[in-house]
Structure 1
Amino acid sequence: MLKAKEANIYKLEDCITKGYPIMFTLSDDNQELIGWDPQPTGYDKTDYGMLYFAAAGMERKGNVLSFPMQGLVVLDSGKWGVLYQGFTETLEMPEGF
Structure 2
Amino acid sequence: MTPESNPPDGGASDAAGAAKTDPNRQVRGDERRELTERVTAAYDQGRSIRDIASGIGRSYGFVHRLLAEAGVDFRTRGGARKGGRK
TM-score range relative to shorter protein: under 0.3
Q: Normalised by the size of structure 1, how large is the TM-score?
A: 0.24
Give the structure, 1 or 2, with the largest relative contact order (CA under 8 Å, sep 6 or more). 2
Q: Normalised by the size of structure 2, how large is the TM-score?
A: 0.26
Structure in which a larger fraction of residues adopt strand? 1
